[in-house]
Amino acid sequence: MANMAQAIRMALHYGEEHLGVTDIFGEDVGPPLGGVFTATQGLKTTWNSPLDERGIIGAAIGLALAGQKPVAEIQFGDYIFNTIDLLKLAGNTYWSGNGEYNLPMVVMTNVGAGIHGSLYHSHSFESMASHIPGWKIVLPSTPKDAYGLMISAIKDPNPVMYLYPKMLIRAKGEELIPGEPEDERELRRMIDAPIGATLYDVIEARDGWQPSWPEGLTDYSIPIGKAKIVREGKDLTIVTYARHVILAREAAKILENDLGISVELIDLRSLYPWDRETVFASVRKTGRCLVLNEDTPVTNYGEHILHHIIDNCFYELVAKPRVLAGADVPAIGLSAVLEEASVPQIADIVHEAVAITTEEP
Amino acid sequence: MANMAQAIRMALHYGEEHLGVTDIFGEDVGPPLGGVFTATQGLKTTWNSPLDERGIIGAAIGLALAGQKPVAEIQFGDYIFNTIDLLKLAGNTYWSGNGEYNLPMVVMTNVGAGIHGSLYHSHSFESMASHIPGWKIVLPSTPKDAYGLMISAIKDPNPVMYLYPKMLIRAKGEELIPGEPEDERELRRMIDAPIGATLYDVIEARDGWQPSWPEGLTDYSIPIGKAKIVREGKDLTIVTYARHVILAREAAKILENDLGISVELIDLRSLYPWDRETVFASVRKTGRCLVLNEDTPVTNYGEHILHHIIDNCFYELVAKPRVLAGADVPAIGLSAVLEEASVPQIADIVHEAVAITTEEP
Amino acid sequence: MDKKLKLKILDIMITARCMEERMAKMSKSADAFFWLGGVGEEAFNVPLGLLAKVGHGLDYDFFHFHYRNGSTMVAMGMDPMDQLRQTHNRATDPFSGGRNFCNHYARKAWNVVPVTSTIQTQMSVAPGTAYAQKRHGGDGVTVVTFGDAGTAEGDFHVGLNWSTIKDRELPVLFICTNNAYGISTHYDEVHGQDNLAQIAAGYGMKTKVIDGNDVEVSYEALSKAYDYVRKERKPFFLEAMVSRLHGHSSSSGGNRIPDGKEPDCLHAWRDKLVEQDLITREDYDRKYQAETRRMLQLLEEVRKEPAPEPGDIYNYIFASV
Amino acid sequence: MDKKLKLKILDIMITARCMEERMAKMSKSADAFFWLGGVGEEAFNVPLGLLAKVGHGLDYDFFHFHYRNGSTMVAMGMDPMDQLRQTHNRATDPFSGGRNFCNHYARKAWNVVPVTSTIQTQMSVAPGTAYAQKRHGGDGVTVVTFGDAGTAEGDFHVGLNWSTIKDRELPVLFICTNNAYGISTHYDEVHGQDNLAQIAAGYGMKTKVIDGNDVEVSYEALSKAYDYVRKERKPFFLEAMVSRLHGHSSSSGGNRIPDGKEPDCLHAWRDKLVEQDLITREDYDRKYQAETRRMLQLLEEVRKEPAPEPGDIYNYIFASV
Ligand SMILES: Cc1ncc(C[n+]2csc(CCOP(=O)(O)OP(=O)(O)O)c2C)c(N)n1
Ligand SMILES: Cc1ncc(C[n+]2csc(CCOP(=O)(O)OP(=O)(O)O)c2C)c(N)n1
Ligand SMILES: [Mg+2]
Ligand SMILES: [Mg+2]
């Protein structure tokens, strides 16, 4: 199965061929590297931008104003914070001009910890992103969703923030993407660029290289705003996204097997707009819920979800609903000990889940 | 009584004279203007910076690293969004260096709507600010608090974000600041710079002008993290800050007089850290609460407060707690109609309060 | 410059001036909350609009305007009534539906992208439209205008840098209208260069500094600059020294500055054309009075137009898929 | 340059090189998650450290370092063990307590302000320390170092602009170590100037471009540049063309690049000193091997030191009032 980087690459290829994508650009996005996580290798509209996030977002806005369809990458979500004013402008352009100019642009960047990336390769961005009006925000946890959400992001005539979890970029999927070859070695041979020990070797190895894209790729898409019930359950609803879907799934197994607690696990996939109906239906069913993510806890996106659960399901809750987020600290430390202490781990999820389901009011 | 601009000015003067403030700077902060809202007139350490928010925050960090004590102004909170990465750096400097460098700096800017400022003189910033770790954040609603919080901000050895409500800058206080002359015309004569019809006239009028500072100013300070109970009540707790303290007070009068609903009104004053004990004690008493502000509603600071109220008082709540925030729109429009429709008004507060207090589960 | 053109420019300058003066007055009454604009920049801004290639799409010029380009818009054909609509924040305001400050244009039919209040961000956005134009071919250029103080923002560098990449130079006409002030702060207090073109020149682009109060100088410099960018598909930096005759905005009073402090380009042009016998002083005064009256009449019409409705805040948040 | 100095520089270069090579190796094992550093910049970075005025407070130089200044720190007196501690993210890491990547120094006693991963933000911060120094008097300067690609950030302009304001020029020594790459992107693909000093020159500051692979050239240029800034209290921009001998970082392998692709300044200096009979090749090899061994021994010590504790994440969030 494709990993997430390959899934994104294939979706971008489909976008270039069939959906009018004109520019895929950012730092090291074009040849020879094709992205620090390989997500843009072999594509035909890629180019390398100056090392300048403000210029990247600015150029994306300009390209969209000029009727192009850009996909701009910020190399790490950690480095997007010098562009918030521009992201706000992109989000209010359609509104401020009373409908004169909409901006069909995608900004793609990776988020979250898990790669021992220290302070500046571990940042979450979703809380702040969700506070910027005028953007749709997606955040897949599987390669197949990564493909389907990228297709939707490209098709959308509005600014779409395409976030993806750093830690899952190289994780293989469990489901085939429509059109993807069954044999993953085959896929690698077809679309992964040759490697090399140093940049000089890489350049040499890639001289004249061309990907051979799978023929049968489709416009398989995940609608923006549609969550996925990853597993059904009856005792507790866990609402999460990104790599915490994976961790929560592990926690759910432990809870089921060891403690007989049945967890319903929801992967939001879209953070704005988000799938209120699926979440509320589940919480109404279980009466208990945990909202889970790894961003810092003050004015955290999960608190927004909690607020609306309260607003819509308050009298159906049978136990205090909770938010489990990252620690209230300035950053993620490099040492594995520090990283683990800062980001909710499986044991923490189990612990919270037990607390919620065993709570006596 | 002093207005808020005068209160800030006097506190800054006290800071220059007694608390080691070395630099008060920003766009148009120095002579001839002394700040677009007059808050920095007549001070001795002011200077005009280039029109460059990144440079302003950067210079403040550099000055603090060099052992100075800067107070940097961003002319409007609306224009602080290109500095978020730098604010994050300021907030993590002490932590990232494991205690090597703390940053004694104050960043001061105004927030909120209410002056018919259109898209870019109406922004709230507190939700995003509160998501930046390593900062303390204060936001006064009265001149006296403005004075006392500025004194605390200056004394603090950490980065402090000093926000103040645009709309209340010129509103007079109801209480004397210690050391302030009783006669407000006297105060104006002493510390307000002469005015003029154009910049040329202003420059001429201020040539040689010197303020005469009140002698008796003190280090009267409001501790960071301490809320104020603006009025006591028993049916409903309203937690708010900034200009919504004023609006909520009006709403509370209406609720009391017309409907017999007794509101306990809390002015947070500090947003990080915030006064958990005062809030929780009140909510435990009334069993009902409304968190109120004007920032946009997705991942809103009020949702953070709500989350912790849920976490600490869930089983004591007798009705669904609520958040009333700004409309989910990209910005505030210029037309008064649009502005009013986007920001909670007195009638909206009354409406929510009635809904909460009359709710039948 | 022939006689017809000279008179045409004068006419547009008068219209634009009378429009702005009306707007400044509006801001002192219940008609408007705010004014800022380009009173004192007409000698430069009118030719900027006249020489533009106005239309929709990549074959035409793109405009990333500063908030003092009212007279440019008039020169491009804007009905002053539209500007009064915005100033009076009517629902009929075609640029923002009563949402934005005056001089915040947005007109897709003319490639006028939304003017933003955030100083200098247009410099980071402009390379995007220019990149599309360069790829498209043709002779459309991207025009980006800004003040002197705003060049302190990092975005200034972003625009200059992205436009001068080897073999990827962009067709951008950079226009700095230098009025020597950012609100109350004088140029000399926050800059160390004789002019800003010196910084731009460091990137290897062509530059020129001119007296923007002189119509003929401005027209000629702009013709050459537009031409260069159209043909060479490379950037050009033009800095025009201009006046700020009503101060920064209504926040600082919006009043006419004392006589003699800064040149009035409209009066200078008037006097020149009178001297050249192309117009009499009486003609001018008549025109001026007529335009002043017309603006008031337009305003009276505008006053009858509807304000936005509360529910309008929810329009145009997302374009439909 | 006298013999003693020449040999001293060689010794420091060897130490720094062996330290970094050990670190690169660590990143291929469980000893470290990551390496990046300055292998190939020693000929320039060692003199940069040797000529500095190192101490605490406004009378000394302030340093806003790029993440390739390991050999500068060694030249300033850093114990390589401290760097290994950081690379191995030990609790004993004096710069960040196991929190930050290697080469992310912070040492208040030497005015080394925390190195930040955010490219080029140091350019926006540096004017702050320089402003304090200028006001304080004395001859302390602010040194800010950065790569070539990072100059595309708007912060580049911010630093240059704030340092060149009329009558408020700042004592900043701007150092660009130009290795012709930003990760995988070549200089020519994203710049249009022969060198970055050309841009800086546009601000009216003194600039120089040198071969940073040459110790003597570097030493001399740095002496002059430091001197100028110390005395004139004005900025200087020095651009050093350097090599990147192990590529960008461990993310791109951290392997030694193929022979002959880029000059190795350590080898060049060794060969020169051998040629000048100041050292024999055997001396050099012995030293090199000894330092290589020493680094391994230091690492063995460091391995025994404690990792941070989970609760440590809550240390140093706020300084106490
Ligand atoms: C990013 C940003 N910072 C601050 C402001 C507030 N502001 C509005 S106009 C202005 C001065 C602009 O001066 P200049 O660039 O010279 O243009 P001018 O007004 O003189 O035409 C300032 C500081 C703003 N609009 N945007
Ligand atoms: C603001 C920001 N954007 C992107 C990155 C990711 N990044 C780290 S190093 C680097 C390349 C830097 O190149 P250059 O400035 O030439 O320095 P060099 O590594 O060559 O010394 C990039 C893009 C970052 N650290 N910070
Ligand atoms: Mg100006
Ligand atoms: Mg480089």
CB of A66 within 8 Å of a chain D CB? The answer is no
Tell whether A175 and A247 lie within a shared domain. Answer: no
Tell whether A194 and A236 lie within a shared domain. Answer: no
Residue with CA at minimum distance from ligand 1 atom 18? C147
Determine, for residues C310 and B340 on separate chains, whether the beta-carbon distance falls below 8 Å.
yes
Q: Tokens 């800086």 belong to which residue?
A: D200
Higher pLDDT, C321 or D126: D126
All partners of chain A with 3 or more CB pairs under 8 angstroms: B, C, D
Phi-psi category of C61—alpha, beta or left, where left has phi over 0 and alpha has psi -120 to 50? beta
Q: Determine if ligand 2 sits within 6 Å of the CB of residue D247.
A: no
Interface test with D, best of B87, B96, B138, B149 (most D CBs within 10 A): B96
Determine, for residues C104 and A96 on separate chains, whether the beta-carbon distance falls below 8 Å.
yes
Burial zone of A195 (CB within 10 Å; 0-12 exposed, 13-18 middle, 19+ buried): exposed
pLDDT of residue A361: 67
Alpha carbons C130 and A247: distance in angstroms, whole number? 46
Q: Tokens 């390379």 belong to which residue?
A: C127
| Cβ–Cβ < 8 Å for D244, D45 | no
Determine, for residues A98 and C124 on separate chains, whether the beta-carbon distance falls below 8 Å.
no
Catalytic residues of B, by residue number, are: 53, 121
Residue with CA at minimum distance from ligand 1 atom 8? C119
pLDDT in tens, A156-191: 999 999 999 999 999 999 999 999 999 999 999 999
Does some domain include residue C316? Answer: no
* Parent domain of C243: 3-250+261-305
Alpha carbons A293 and A111: distance in angstroms, whole number? 12
Question: What residues of B are in contact with residue D58 (Cβ under 8 Å)?
Answer: 66-67
Sign of CA dihedral B229, B232, B238, B244: negative
Does some domain include residue D113? Answer: yes
**For D99, which of B65, B96, B102 is closest by C-beta distance?**
B96
Q: Determine if ligand 2 sits within 6 Å of the CB of residue D98.
A: no
Burial zone of C188 (CB within 10 Å; 0-12 exposed, 13-18 middle, 19+ buried): exposed
Tell whether A190 and A275 lie within a shared domain. Answer: no
Question: What residues of B are in contact with residue A335 (Cβ under 8 Å)?
Answer: none
Burial pattern C219-237, b for ≥16 Cβ within 10 A else e, equals bebbeebbebbbeebbbbb
Does some domain include residue B193? Answer: yes
Does some domain include residue A148? Answer: yes
Tokens of A213: 């894209």
Residue C120 CA to ligand 1 center (angstroms) comes to 8
- Closest Cα in chain A, distance from residue C19 (Å): 21
Boundary residue ending a domain (B174, B205, B236)? B205
Does some domain include residue B253? Answer: yes
What own/partner pairs with CB < 8 Å and gap ≥ 24 does A218-221 have? Answer: A218/A14, A218/A178, A218/A179, A219/A14, A219/A18, A219/A19, A219/A151, A219/A155, A220/A147, A220/A148, A220/A151, A220/A177, A220/A178, A220/A179, A221/A148, A221/A149, A221/A151, A221/A152, A221/A155
Q: How many residues are present in chain D?
A: 321
Question: What residues of D are in contact with residue B24 (Cβ under 8 Å)?
Answer: none
* Number of structural domains in chain A: 2
Does some domain include residue C197? Answer: yes
Residue D150 CA to ligand 2 center (angstroms) comes to 6
Strands (E), chain D: 62-64, 142-147, 172-178, 181-182, 185-186, 206-211, 236-241
Tell whether B159 and B251 lie within a shared domain. Answer: no
Query: Which ligand is in closest contact with the Cα of A74?
Result: 2
All partners of chain D with 3 or more CB pairs under 8 angstroms: A, B, C
Tokens of C278: 């192309």
Q: Determine if ligand 1 sits within 6 Å of the CB of residue C48.
A: no
pLDDT in tens, D237-281: 999 999 999 999 999 999 999 999 999 999 999 999 999 999 999
Q: Determine if ligand 2 sits within 6 Å of the CB of residue D183.
A: yes
pLDDT of residue B263: 98
Does some domain include residue D171? Answer: yes
Tell whether B267 and B119 lie within a shared domain. Answer: no
As residues whose CB is below 5 A from the ion ligand 3, the structure lists: C 147-149, 179, 181
Tell whether B196 and B246 lie within a shared domain. Answer: no
Determine, for residues D203 and C192 on separate chains, whether the beta-carbon distance falls below 8 Å.
yes
* Parent domain of A255: 228-357
Determine, for residues A330 and D317 on separate chains, whether the beta-carbon distance falls below 8 Å.
yes
Tokens of A33: 């590297």
The DSSP bridge pattern shows strands A270-272 and A322-324 to be unpaired
At B276, which CATH number? 3.40.50.920
Does some domain include residue D138? Answer: yes
Nearest to C261 by CA among C282, C249, C243: C243
Determine, for residues C321 and A156 on separate chains, whether the beta-carbon distance falls below 8 Å.
yes
Q: Tokens 């006591």 belong to which residue?
A: B232
pLDDT of residue C321: 83
* Number of structural domains in chain C: 1
Q: Block means of pLDDT (10 residues each) for chain C, length 321 residues?
A: 97 98 96 97 98 98 98 98 98 98 98 98 98 98 98 98 98 98 98 98 98 98 98 98 97 95 98 98 98 98 98 98 83
Determine, for residues D161 and B58 on separate chains, whether the beta-carbon distance falls below 8 Å.
no
| Cβ–Cβ < 8 Å for A137, A270 | yes
Q: Determine if ligand 1 sits within 6 Å of the CB of residue C212.
A: no
| Cβ–Cβ < 8 Å for A109, A74 | yes
Query: Which ligand is in closest contact with the Cα of C149?
Result: 1
Q: Determine if ligand 1 sits within 6 Å of the CB of residue B52.
A: no
Question: What residues of A are in contact with residue C320 (Cβ under 8 Å)?
Answer: 157
Does some domain include residue B210? Answer: no
Does some domain include residue A212? Answer: no
At D208, which CATH number? 3.40.50.970
Tokens of C12: 């547009």
Does some domain include residue C313? Answer: no
Does some domain include residue B217? Answer: no
Tokens of C211: 């007296």
Q: Determine if ligand 2 sits within 6 Å of the CB of residue D118.
A: yes
Query: Which ligand is in closest contact with the Cα of A121?
Result: 2
Angle at A251 between CA A250 and CA A254, to 5 degrees: 90
- Closest Cα in chain D, distance from residue B155 (Å): 7
Tokens of B191: 């510390």
Question: What residues of A are in contact with residue C118 (Cβ under 8 Å)?
Answer: 85, 89
Tokens of A21: 């994508």
pLDDT of residue B360: 76
Beta-ladder partners of C107:
C112
Alpha carbons B164 and D265: distance in angstroms, whole number? 55
pLDDT at D126 over 90: yes
Q: Tokens 């094709």 belong to which residue?
A: A34
Angle at A125 between CA A124 and CA A126, to 5 degrees: 105
Does some domain include residue D255? Answer: no
Alpha carbons A15 and A69: distance in angstroms, whole number? 10
pLDDT of residue A360: 76
Residue D117 CA: nearest ligand 2 atom is 25
Does some domain include residue A272? Answer: yes
Does some domain include residue B216? Answer: no
Q: How many CB pairs under 8 A join B and D?
A: 132
Tell whether B197 and B302 lie within a shared domain. Answer: no
Tell whether B177 and B251 lie within a shared domain. Answer: no
Q: What is the pLDDT along chain B (361 residues), one digit of tens a residue?
A: 999 999 999 999 999 999 999 999 999 999 999 999 999 999 999 999 999 999 999 999 999 999 999 999 999 999 999 999 999 999 999 999 999 999 999 999 999 999 999 999 999 999 999 999 999 999 999 999 999 999 999 999 999 999 999 999 999 999 999 999 999 999 999 999 999 999 999 999 999 999 999 999 999 999 999 999 999 999 999 999 999 999 999 999 999 999 999 999 999 999 999 999 999 999 999 999 999 999 999 999 999 999 999 999 999 999 999 999 999 999 999 999 999 999 999 999 999 999 999 987 6
| Cβ–Cβ < 8 Å for B309, B278 | no
At A114, which CATH number? 3.40.50.970
Question: What residues of A are in contact with residue C104 (Cβ under 8 Å)?
Answer: 96
Alpha carbons A215 and A28: distance in angstroms, whole number? 27
Q: Determine if ligand 1 sits within 6 Å of the CB of residue C147.
A: yes
Tell whether B318 and B169 lie within a shared domain. Answer: no
Query: Which ligand is in closest contact with the Cα of C184?
Result: 1
Q: Determine if ligand 2 sits within 6 Å of the CB of residue A75.
A: yes
Tell whether A139 and A184 lie within a shared domain. Answer: yes
Burial pattern A177-189, b for ≥16 Cβ within 10 A else e, equals bebbbeebeebee
Tokens of C235: 């950037």
Residue D116 CA to ligand 2 center (angstroms) comes to 11
Beta-ladder partners of A292:
A324
| Cβ–Cβ < 8 Å for A61, D163 | no
- Closest Cα in chain B, distance from residue C148 (Å): 9
Q: Determine if ligand 1 sits within 6 Å of the CB of residue C249.
A: no
- Closest Cα in chain C, distance from residue D48 (Å): 26
Tell whether B305 and B191 lie within a shared domain. Answer: no
Q: How many CA atoms lie within 13 A of D153 on its CB side?
A: 28
Interface test with D, best of A29, A198, A204, A298 (most D CBs within 10 A): A198
Tokens of B221: 């300070």
Name the residue of D123, D183, D188, D242 to mutate for ligand 2: max ligand atoms within 8 A of Cβ: D183
Q: Quick count: other Cβ atoms within 10 Å of Cβ D1? A: 13
Tell whether B102 and B193 lie within a shared domain. Answer: yes
Closest-CA residue of B relative to D141 is B66
